[in-house]
Structure 1
Amino acid sequence: MIGTRRTRLVAVGALGLITAVATACAGTGVSGDDSGPPQRGGTLKYGLSLAPTCADPAQSSSNQTIYVTRQVVDSLTDQNPKTGEIVPWLAQSWQVDPTSREFTFRLRPGVTFSDGTPVDATAVQRTFDAIVKKLGGVKAPLPASYLAGYTGTTVVDPLTVRVTFATPNAQFLQASSTPQLGILAASTNAESAETRCQSGIVGSGPFTYADYQQDRSAKLVRRAGYAWGSAAFGHTGEPYLDAIQFTVVPESGVRTGSVSSGQLDAVSDALPQDAPLIENTGGSIRTTPNPGVTFGIQPNVSRGVLADPAVRRALIPAIDRQELVDTVLGKDFLPATGVLSVKTPGYQRSADVTFDPERAKSILQQAGWTPGSDGVREKNGTRLSFSILFSAVFAGNQTILELVQQQLRKVGVDAQLDLVSLPESTSRQNSGDFDATYYNSTRGDGDILRTSFSVDQRNLNQQPAPIPALEQAFVGELSTTDVAARNRFFAQAQQQILDDGLWIPTIELSQAIGVGPRAHAVTFDASARLQFYDTWVNGG
């Protein structure tokens, strides 16, 4: 508990919430002036804010990398970005057994990978087997968590496949819509994890790799004959674009200038100060909120001052989240109000995720942390100091954390910032070499809590043993497909996470894309990632 109060949570209906957020935020779908019939042909020139780290969707985690990999791989299902409904893609129908242990998919006939081999039940089997047996939780933590308890995939007939789990796994149907569980050709599934990252993959998506330079650039070209798009797509047949050229432009000002000058058609991470220049040249800023776990600080509870639960709890009211948004991000972003973002099915608002520095000071004082000569608190000769590991996966991360650092100092906490590359951040997270780490996780299902906080999954809190109430909530949400029942279990999990100080929320991530006047229908999927299937450009 924080102080003497239990965390108070207010439930929000998931589908109504998605509609409300989509209405409130500018441009959850198309960009700028999209009037007139779409034109076929041309190359979209896109500027990424961070280098694509891996060509393989199963091993992709950053949004900038997923923007590339999502285009080359299809999934069994898709998730409608407006309603959250799971809709057909490679699978034209499916059945879930009453125990949520068996999922049977009937595949669409006539679908092929870009190497000409069929997308059949054997391809699904090999894809899932490779994730579990070859990649595992270190190389592919997200899909491995989606396949937790996987006992195998059975080829019922060439177009029917049954995926089986040892224990209930109700989240798997939504997981089957993610790019991380996208279906790959046999040639890719036979490769090592390293080769899959470096040299591209063979999928059945609307685009294929023409060139991939790890950590530098990627070029995709239209898949000739593509005719099996998701039911959530805006048209049928081949994509409109001939090609997509991704280049890496780390500096925000350079990205903005490149859109306004016409050198690039669209760019990632358009910040509020970028809007006037882009809009003055006929472009627009398109935004949509991310579902999933908010941006926040995850403490390593196994070492240092953050092993003290009172310290972890005190950090929650010490942060002025509205100031973070107002100072750094602008109107298209929201302060975090819980562990999950408001767009996530199962989101619960917490009355304790509020700014109350006096309460933070009181918690620390009662726990024996008293101010030292320089204002930083001490206990038994130990300064209340820890470092926060982070990478620049989002353009605002460093500035946000610098402001958090100032806010924490006002209550007597010394937070040091440890900025590293994304690969180093991932490596140190996996090894537990950090005091605290700062990140977010995107997914359109509340089960992302299990991926982030279960002792049997990533366990970045480095919990030495399971927290019974938390693990019981995860078992419960996996055991039912009833929305109301799952939301109750998600509420229990979120409460427990805050009560134990396992997450210190900061802001909700929104995708903010700067789009020039030449690009049209730059659309977001249900997980706030870009889908370029419906995109088109003027003038070829």
Structure 2
Amino acid sequence: MTRRFVGRATALIAATAAAALVLTGCAASQSVASSNVGGDPVPGGTLRFAVLDAPANLDPHSGSSYPESLITSNISDKLVYQNPESGALEPWLATSWDVNETLTEFTFHLRNDVTFSDGTPLTADSVKENFDLLGFGNKELGVVPVSAYWGGYLGTEVIDPSTVKVTLDKPSAGFLQGLSMYFAGILGHTTLQLRKEDRALPQNIVATGPFVVTEHVYQEKTVLRKREGYNWAPASRGHNGGAYLDAVEVLVIPEAGVRTGALRSGEVDAILDVNTTDEAPLRAEGCEIVPQLIPGRDIAFDFKTDLFPTNERAVREAVKLGWSRDALAKTVLTDSYRPSSSVVSERVPGYADFSDRLVENQDEAKRILDQAGWKEGPDGIRVNADGKPLNLSLLAINNLVINKPAFELIQQDLRDIGVDLQLQVLPIPDYQAASKLQGKWNVQVFNTSRSDVAVLEQTYSPLFTNGAAITADNPVRQKAIDTFRAVNETLDPAKRAAAAAAAQDFVLNEEILSVPVYNPAQVTAANPKVHNVGYEAQSRNVFYDTWIEQG
């Protein structure tokens, strides 16, 4: 694999030397300033950007994995922009909006100077067509609605050529933020007429963003090229007009060591998914390390409360108390990450700090299991009165470099209290297949990137994703529905913060539906001639402001 990539990258460099700026590795440029300083931006050049996972689905409405949404975040714009630094919601394709008192009607006033990549104008009809597909789906086209974000969508009314009104059947304080998300990019009419599988083909994607996809070779590379005439970036961005870069080549290099080696050798200019053990050495060599915590739900052990033995609260509480967050911070995490202090990231407005309730206490964990009738077996693993062992099967993805070492550390700690945590940490395609095996996994691990506390209802409400598998006959079902619904019923900051704190407490302490592990981050390492390596609010890399120092 190493040889195949090096050969391909070398050929690519030779073929594009006249058009793209070829950089050297970090060590050759140690005197150059960091990625966010260094003088006036210089237009031109091709950024070669290496990632761990291959983007498979390039449809901005349905590409949901990180590598997919990284691509779609650079080719499609949204009505609403969420500032990644402040979390504030700002105008983008919509210049302003009005919300009724019940949070069920949202009226958007659109820019009148926006065009799609095929030259057609953005109109209110364009927005209605997009929103109806997102809200209702289309069975004939194979398009499913984004119900986790747009529950209760009733429709969009065109008021005039630049005004639309969206109506929902229930209050949705998180709706505006949902419109800033990677799946909410506005697409052109010709794309929206296609079946789902055809919408993902590069030649069929018509959007309004600063880049367009010109080439896509699955598991090898995706090429983004600057769109001429782009001039409608959010006001708080670093500039307006077209992107600085001529092109971005997103190269797939699954092995962490090979990605790092490619950066050091100058075969690529920047890499994502930096191994924790490589951060400090690369920084010492002159590379710029650019991390951003991912907002939303942290990486967490979501318990299936309908399966033995995680249907027992005592088991869930023992897992919560049975492992060391201090050891995780000292031996696995770097300064780019945080041990969890709640079920949502500290970057989410409405986050509440529960770090005092997320502490190791193995003696208490053992006491709880003893009291619940779990006795230590001959191999150290506890058994109940029926002789059933305390085995927990865990399913997770391996596309975050922290996951496997973090879970292995927890696995060792939990064995000390008599819990056998059996790990399946898989690539995304294998994870997706395994997650369909109903009744197999006691613990499922995934994070949801969303900088809004509505992510709690989206993830845990029995009416939505129902991540804890709360059944219809579970006595806490209605309280769960009501507790999570409350975070979406007001825009008043104080009331919403109180509802968010109550929902987090319900998940972490009252019912222990989940045990958060760490706040994940995206970590980019770049040659110091690459400037303004940045992220949007959900921590997807965006290249609109990125530029390359010449010479």
TM-score (norm 1): 0.90
Alignment of 1:359-370 (within 5 A): 359-370=364-375
Contact kept in structure 2, 1:109 and 1:159, CA below 8 Å: yes
1:174 and 1:298, CA in 2 relative to 1: closer, same or farther beyond 3 A? Answer: same
The whole-number CA distance in structure 2 between the counterparts of 1:130 and 1:31 is 43
Taking structure 1 as reference, are residues 217 and 150 closer, same or farther at Cα in structure 2, changes over 3 Å only? same
Amino acid in the other structure paired with 2:537 = A
Return the match for 1:467 from 451, 454, 477: 477
Please, which of 339, 343, 348 is the counterpart of residue 344 of structure 1? 348
Alignment partner for residue 278 of structure 2, among 274, 278, 284? 274
Cα deviation code 1:447-488 (max 9, x no counterpart): 111111111111232221262222112222222111111111
Alignment partners' CA distance in 2, 1:413 and 1:142: 40
In structure 2, what is the equivalent of residue 424 of structure 1?
430
Contact 1:299–1:306 under 8 Å retained in 2: yes
Matched, 1:149 2:152: yes
- Counterpart in the other structure of 1:170: 173
Post-superposition CA distance 1:6-62 (Å, at most 9, x none): xxxxxxxxxxxxxxxxxxxxxxxx953621111101111000111113202222333
Task: Give the Cα separation in 2 of the matches to 1:34 and 1:141.
Answer: 44
Q: Distance in 2 between matches of 1:164 and 1:33?
A: 42
Residue matched to 1:14:
none
1:434 aligned to which of 441, 465, 470 = 441
Unaligned runs of 5+ in 2: 1-32
Question: Within 5 A, what are the aligned runs for 1:219-368?
Answer: 219-350=223-354, 351-368=356-373
Q: Note if contact 1:291-1:343 (Cα within 8 Å) is conserved in structure 2.
A: yes
1:423 shift after superposition = 2.7
* Matched AA of 1:371: E
CA distance in 2, matches of 1:31, 1:302: 51
In structure 1, distance between residues paired with 2:221 and 2:143:
22
Check the 8 A contact 1:81/1:526 in 2, yes or no.
yes
Alignment of 1:440-479 (within 5 A): 440-465=447-472, 467-479=477-489
Provide closer, same or farther for how the CA distance between residues 283 and 447 of structure 1 changes in structure 2, counting only shifts above 3 A: same
Q: Deviations over 1:40-95 (max 9, x none)?
A: 01111000111113202222333232221100000001011222111110001111
The equivalent of 1:21 in structure 2 is: none
Match for 1:89 among 77, 89, 92? 92
> What is the CA RMSD across the aligned residues, in angstroms?
2.0
CA distance in 2, matches of 1:400, 1:306: 21
Q: Which amino acid letter does the alignment assign opposite residue 223 of structure 1?
A: R
Q: Which position in structure 2 is the counterpart of 1:374? A: 379
Contact 1:469–1:496 at 8 Å: present in 2 too? no
- Contact 2:134 2:145 (8 Å CA) reproduced: no
Change (3 A) 1:215 1:468: farther
Secondary structure at the counterpart of residue 126 of structure 1? helix
Q: Who is 1:518 aligned against?
A: 529
Which of 485, 493, 515 is the aligned partner of 1:483?
493
Where 2:200 maps in the other structure, the secondary structure is: helix
Q: How many residues are paired up?
A: 509
1:230 partner letter: P
- State the one-letter code of the partner of 1:370: K
Q: CA deviation at 1:421?
A: 2.6
SS at match of 1:441: coil
The one-letter code of the counterpart of 2:550 is G
| Counterpart residue identity of residue 482, structure 1 | D
Structure 1 counterpart SS, 2:43: coil
Which residue of the other structure, out of 161, 165, 190, is the alignment partner of 2:164?
A: 161
Q: What is the rounded CA distance, in whole Å, between the counterparts of 1:384 and 1:152 in structure 2?
A: 49
User: Relative to structure 2, which stretch is displaced further, 403-412 or 182-191?
Assistant: 182-191
Q: Give the aligned partner of residue 57 of structure 2.
A: 54
The residue aligned with 1:130 is 133
Kept after mapping to 2: 8 A contact 1:154/1:163: yes
Identity %: 35
2:407 alignment partner in structure 1: 401
2-structure distance, mates of 1:497, 1:140? 32
**Corresponding residue of 2:392:** 386
Query: How far did 1:205 drift?
Result: 0.4
Find the partner of 1:505 among 512, 516, 531: 516
Q: Distance in 2 between matches of 1:147 and 1:524?
A: 24
Does the Cα contact within 8 Å between 1:31 and 1:515 map onto a contact in 2? no
Separation in 1, partners of 2:426, 2:283: 33
Residue in structure 2 matching 1:64, options 63, 67, 72: 67
| 1:307 positional shift | 1.7
Runs of 4+ in 1 over 6 A off after TM superposition: 139-142
Q: Give the conservation status (yes or no) of the 8 Å contact 2:154–2:167.
A: yes
What do the CA deviations read for 1:70-127 (whole angstroms, capped 9, x no partner)? Answer: 0000000101122211111000111111110000001000211111222111111111
C-alpha deviation, 1:293, in angstroms: 0.8
Contact 2:462 2:480 in 1 (8 A): no
Query: Is the 8 Å Cα contact of residues 36 and 533 (structure 2) preserved in structure 1?
Result: no
